[in-house]
């Protein structure tokens, strides 16, 4: 597969958005917030690394962060699981409800004000793979005194941009027997996840632009994760078995089945009258190569 056929599409888009961006009068140091969504295994890490490199080459102070770094602490996640014993989707990190949204909003608010800001890091290997927030000494700091203010913040993640659905839509999709995973869960479980997702709207509303890396078939997620884990086992002698990978992806898949279709209709609010094209969609094939792209 091509090592990078996406950043040459994304960088001109980002530069255009930045050239049109006007910070709010009350927040003159507010950066342009860009959301980036892509399913697991599609190559988000490779892409944002390339984007960061390009933005540096363009001399644009920026921050790339992942919603994964805002997962709940191990203790808080364990307490969440105990308090929701009948909801298997909350028994482990992943689904909406397992992120520290107040922390994320506090970080975004500090960035809006151009203040010195510490960005958390999540250690997925902690507690034998259960994960935990890393110590503050390992967090990233931006906007320190004397530093140039961050102008672009790119927040990436598999569920970034997902929006809660009306209850009747959840009921209808749960009743659809053609879905892969929704029937595995009670309606109450899905409604609870949907309720948690409503708290993410305050994050989504920060985005002045959005990039959606979409798979032509979302089932590719299973193949991509299997590839990654097989390579990990080959290189390091550790990694999930094929059966464990399927179970792992099954834990995330309900959100794909519920929210991906509405994500395709999402368009950030324009920053000024007449501004268009703030949503970039890149469609990729099984080998992760670009099939098409367009802006809305």
Please answer whether residues 71 and 133 qualify as being in contact, where contact means their C-beta atoms are separated by less than 8 angstroms: yes
Min mean pLDDT across 79-83, 102-106, 158-162, 274-278 is at 274-278
Burial label for 259, CB within 10 Å (0-12, 13-18, 19+), is buried
Domain architecture of the chain: domains with CATH: 7-295 (3.40.50.300)
Q: pLDDT for 210-240, tens place per residue? A: 999 999 999 999 999 999 889 888 888 877 8
Cβ-Cβ contacts under 8 Å for 278 (sequence gap 6 or more): 17, 208, 209, 210, 267, 268, 270, 271, 295, 296
How many Å apart are CA 89 and CA 85, to the nearest integer?
Answer: 10
Given this model, what pLDDT does residue 275 score?
63
How many Å apart are CA 151 and CA 30, to the nearest integer?
Answer: 7
The proportion of the chain whose per-residue pLDDT surpasses 70, expressed as a percent, equals: 96
Please answer whether residues 69 and 97 qualify as being in contact, where contact means their C-beta atoms are separated by less than 8 angstroms: no
Please answer whether residues 199 and 101 qualify as being in contact, where contact means their C-beta atoms are separated by less than 8 angstroms: yes
How many Å apart are CA 20 and CA 70, to the nearest integer?
Answer: 30
Phi-psi sector, 25: left (phi>0), alpha (psi -120 to 50), beta: alpha
Given this model, what pLDDT does residue 86 score?
97
Helix, strand, coil shares of the chain, percent, nearest 5, are: 45, 15, 40
Strand partners, 66: 156
Given this model, what pLDDT does residue 194 score?
98
* The length of the chain, given as a count of residues: 296
Pairing status of strand 209-215 against strand 279-284: parallel
Given this model, what pLDDT does residue 1 score?
45
């Amino acid at each position: 597969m091509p090592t990078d056929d996406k950043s040459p599409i994304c960088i001109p888009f980002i530069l255009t958005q930045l050239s049109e961006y006007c910070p709010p009068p009350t927040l003159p140091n507010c950066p342009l917030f860009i959301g980036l969504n892509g399913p697991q295994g599609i190559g988000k890490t490779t892409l944002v690394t390339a984007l960061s490199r390009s933005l540096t080459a363009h001399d644009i102070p920026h921050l790339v962060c992942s919603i994964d770094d805002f997962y709940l602490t191990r203790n808080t996640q364990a307490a969440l699981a105990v308090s929701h014993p009948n909801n298997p989707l909350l028994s482990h990190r992943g689904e909406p409800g397992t992120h520290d949204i107040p922390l994320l909003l506090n970080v975004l608010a500090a960035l809006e004000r151009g203040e010195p800001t510490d960005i958390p890091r999540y250690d997925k290997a902690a507690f034998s793979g259960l994960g935990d927030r890393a110590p503050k000494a390992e967090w990233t700091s931006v906007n320190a005194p004397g530093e140039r203010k961050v102008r672009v913040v790119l927040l990436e993640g598999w569920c970034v941009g997902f929006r809660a659905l009306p209850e009747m839509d959840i009921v209808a999709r749960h009743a659809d027997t053609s879905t892969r995973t929704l029937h595995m869960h009670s309606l109450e479980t899905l409604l609870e996840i949907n309720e948690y997702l409503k708290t993410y709207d305050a994050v989504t509303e920060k985005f002045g632009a959005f990039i959606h890396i979409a798979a032509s078939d979302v089932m590719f997620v299973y193949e991509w994760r299997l590839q990654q884990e097989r390579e990990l086992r080959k290189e390091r002698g550790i990694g999930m078995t094929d059966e464990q990978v399927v179970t792992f992806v099954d834990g995330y898949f309900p959100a794909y089945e519920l929210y991906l279709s509405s994500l395709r209709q999402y368009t950030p609010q324009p920053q000024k009258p007449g501004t268009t094209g703030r949503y970039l969609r890149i469609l990729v094939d099984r080998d992760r190569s670009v099939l098409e792209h367009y802006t809305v």
